[in-house]
Amino acid sequence: MAPMSKALIGRIAVGAVVVVLVAVVAVLGKMWWDSRLPETYNVMSYGTHEYGGGAVPPDHAGHGASTGMSVAALKGPSDGTPDAHFELIARAADIRLSSGQVVHALTFGGRSPGPELRVRQGDLVEVVLRNDDVEDGVTIHWHGLDVPNAEDGVAGVTQNAVLPGESYTYRFRAEQVGTFWYHTHQVSSKEVRRGLFGVIVIEPRDKQPGVDLAIAAHTFDGVATLNGDESGRQTVAAGTEVRLRLVNTDSFEQTFTVSGTPFRVLAIDGTDLHGPGELEKVALPVAAGGRIDVGYVQPPNGVRVGIEGTATAVGLGSSGGPPPGEVPPTATFDPLTYGTPAPTPFDASSAFDRRFEMTITRKPGFFDGSPGLQWAINGGIYPDVPVFVVEDGDLVEVTIANDSNGVHPMHLHGHHLLVLSRDGRPSTGSPWWSDTLNVQKGESYVVAFRANNPGIWMDHCHNLTHASQGLTMHVAYAGVSTPFLVGDDPGNAPE
Ligand code: C2O
Ligand code: CU
């Protein structure tokens, strides 16, 4: 046979390259096609159901939408006259900051934050949500309150989004004491940023004396605010016991500063700390969605609460004068070693029924038809993320590892997590219960919770932009199903 001519070899080479390119395009095309989220889907039908080394519950086979107990049945008390009744009306409104800047906001009752809801422990709380004109629909999620699943306010999982002209009633017993907040969980990355949130405080039955003030941080159109303004004043007489409830409603970490007085951190995420020591010049980072309560006795000169890196502040003092200047912090608060130990219902040495890993990374791929660097949980891009399946009564351990470059404030609905360790260092201070745990880049936390609130619960990053980019998964109780659907067609989009 004659040797192949150069031209022929060239043609074969070109042909081979074309074949490879076509194959690559076909593979990418299939990845793109497969990544598109369906028009309508049930959150229980996606992802990898994991059992954490525990039993695979027999009634979980098939984990379809139609089997088992419906989340809709897991309601709060339906009888009884409420001890506290509120109406929250969602509507678009302009709000004016003291700088004169006008924000086209979405509000509850024409303002943002919406009305502060204050109730007492044990109260039966009833909240009627009405949507006036918020196009995409609205829900209310009670962030940090471990309410029955049907009251959890997640569009497409526990209810349908409430459209303009519609209403929805939430009823639950206020069991926990502490600082919480409420926000829409429909298109939350946009609607919360635009103002659909407020604070809910559950006071103990015997009310503490002194001044009790909730301060919510939120950034509107790039302007950091506290309780909806760049500056605020509160009159407090010297010698008064003060409790400040600092709430971060932004999608990124905010660091609060308290200047002019020593203080104690009384609570994290609505749970009181044990044996909190006195701090001064200590910066208080609060996870997106997290809360920190601070206590002090009002000194003769004023106190200033600010957001680090901004001029935004609230002054507390006996006169109407300006708040004192910010005293730059010299240290940063770390709950891992703060306070003193106290008994907990379980600890690191307990026998766990299930142990899960949640490892967050970033990798190239497709998310809902878009190529790019995507968030992944345990290597999968949403919806190929895990579902942690648990059974009622299980003691569950979760290792949350952040192997990505961002910080992720991880929020589990319906439960509180006991922090056991960070990067292998055990928690040695007060018991540290969290519902919104800031996991910094490179960090790894071991946390635990008792599965005692049946339902299908979101477990997601409270950087709500990250959640909308796929940093979302669920903890699901075996045998519980949801009749609600997510997607364009039902118009439910919790993230
Ligand atoms: Cu504060 Cu799933 O949310
Ligand atoms: Cu995140």
Ligand nearest to the CA of 408: 2
Give the phi and the psi of residue 27 in degrees, each rounded to 5: -65, -45
Using one digit for the tens of pLDDT, what is the confidence trace for 108-139? Answer: 999 999 999 999 999 999 999 999 999 999 99
Residue 193: predicted pLDDT: 98
SS3 annotation, the chain: CCCCCHHHHHHHHHHHHHHHHHHHHHHHHHHHHHHCCCCCECHHHCCEEECCCCCCCHHHCCCCCCCCEEHHHCCCCCCCCCCEEEEEEEEEEEEECCCCCEEEEEEECCECCCCCEEEECCCEEEEEEEECCCCCCECCEEECCCCCHHHCCCECCCECCECCCCEEEEEEECCCCEEEEEECCCCHHHHCCCCCEEEEEEECCCCCCCEEEEEEEEEECCEEEECCECEEEEECCCCCEEEEEEEECCCCCEEEEEECCCEEEEEECCEECCCCCCECCEEEEECCCCEEEEEEECCCCCEEEEECCCCCEEEEECCCCCCCCCCCCCEECCCCCCCCCCCCCCCCCCCCCEEEEEEEEEEEEEECCEEEEEEEECCECCCCCEEEEECCCCEEEEEEEECCCCCEEEEECCCCEEEEEECCEECCCCCCEECEEEECCCCEEEEEEECCCCCEEEEEECCHHHHHCCCEEEEEECCEECCCCEECCCCECCC
CA gap 186, 106 in Å, rounded = 13
Q: Are 188 and 197 in contact (CB under 8 A)?
A: no
Q: CA-CA distance, 35 to 365, in Å (whole number)? A: 9
Cβ(283)–Cβ(305) below 8 Å = no
How far, in Å, is the centroid of ligand 1 from the Cα of 436?
A: 9
Q: pLDDT value at position 267? A: 98
Per-residue model confidence (pLDDT) at position 2: 56
Which pLDDT does position 58 carry in this prediction?
74
Distance 195 CA to ligand 1 centre (A): 14
Question: Which ligand is in closest contact with the Cα of 153?
Answer: 1
Mean pLDDT value of segment 404-422 = 98
Query: Which one of the ligands is nearest to 189 CA?
Result: 1
C-beta atoms surrounding 211 within 10 Å? 16
Which atom of ligand 1 lies nearest, measured to the CA of 144?
A: 1
Farthest-apart Cα atoms in the chain, separation = 105
What is the Å distance from ligand 2's center to 251 Cα? 9
- The pLDDT assigned to 67 comes to 59
The confidence score (pLDDT) of residue 320 equals 64
pLDDT digits (tens, 9 = 90+) for 362-400: 999 999 999 999 999 999 999 999 999 999 999 999 999
Q: Are 154 and 139 in contact (CB under 8 A)?
A: yes
Tell me which amino acid residue 377 is: I
pLDDT of residue 171: 98
Atom of ligand 1 nearest to the CA of 494: 2
Is the confidence at residue 1, as pLDDT, over 70? no
Q: How far is the CA of 458 from the centre of ligand 1 (A)?
A: 8
Closest ligand by atom to 402 CA: 2
- Looking at ligand 1, which atom is closest to the CA of residue 413? 2
Given a cut of 70, whether residue 59 has pLDDT beyond it is no
pLDDT digits (tens, 9 = 90+) for 441-473: 999 999 999 999 999 999 999 999 999 999 999
Task: Indicate which atom in ligand 1 lies nearest the CA of residue 458.
Answer: 2
Ligand nearest to the CA of 404: 2
Give the pLDDT of residue 363.
96
Return the structure tokens found at 380. Answer: 């999968």
Share of the chain above pLDDT 90, in %: 84
CB-based contacts of 286, cutoff 8 Å, min separation 6 = 217, 246, 247, 248, 253, 254, 255, 256, 292
pLDDT, tens digit (0-9, with 9 covering 90-100), for 30-53: 877 887 888 888 998 889 999 999
CA 437 – ligand 1 centroid, Å: 12
Q: How far is the CA of 319 from the centre of ligand 2 (A)?
A: 42
What would the mean pLDDT of 309-313 be, rounded to a whole number?
95
User: Residue 60: its pLDDT value, please?
Assistant: 64
Q: What pLDDT is recorded for position 321?
A: 66
Closest residue CA from atom 1 of ligand 1: 143
Task: Pick the ligand that lies closest to the CA of residue 466.
Answer: 2
Q: For residue 248, how far is its CA from the centre of ligand 2 (angstroms)? A: 15
pLDDT band at 65 (very low <50, low <70, confident <90, very high): very low
What would the mean pLDDT of 418-425 be, rounded to a whole number? 98
CA of 471 to the centre of ligand 2 (A): 6
Q: What is the mean pLDDT of the chain?
A: 94
Nearest CA to ligand 1 atom 3: 143
CA of 105 to the centre of ligand 2 (A): 24
Q: Which atom of ligand 1 lies closest to the CA of 183?
A: 1
Q: Name every protein residue with a CB atom under 6 angstroms from any ligand 1 atom.
A: 141, 143, 183, 185, 289, 411, 413, 458, 460, 462
Nearest ligand 1 atom to the CA of 181 is: 1
* CA 157 to ligand 2 center in whole angstroms: 21
How high is the pLDDT of residue 346? 98
Residue 192 CA, closest ligand 1 atom number:
1
Residue 19 pLDDT > 90, yes or no? no
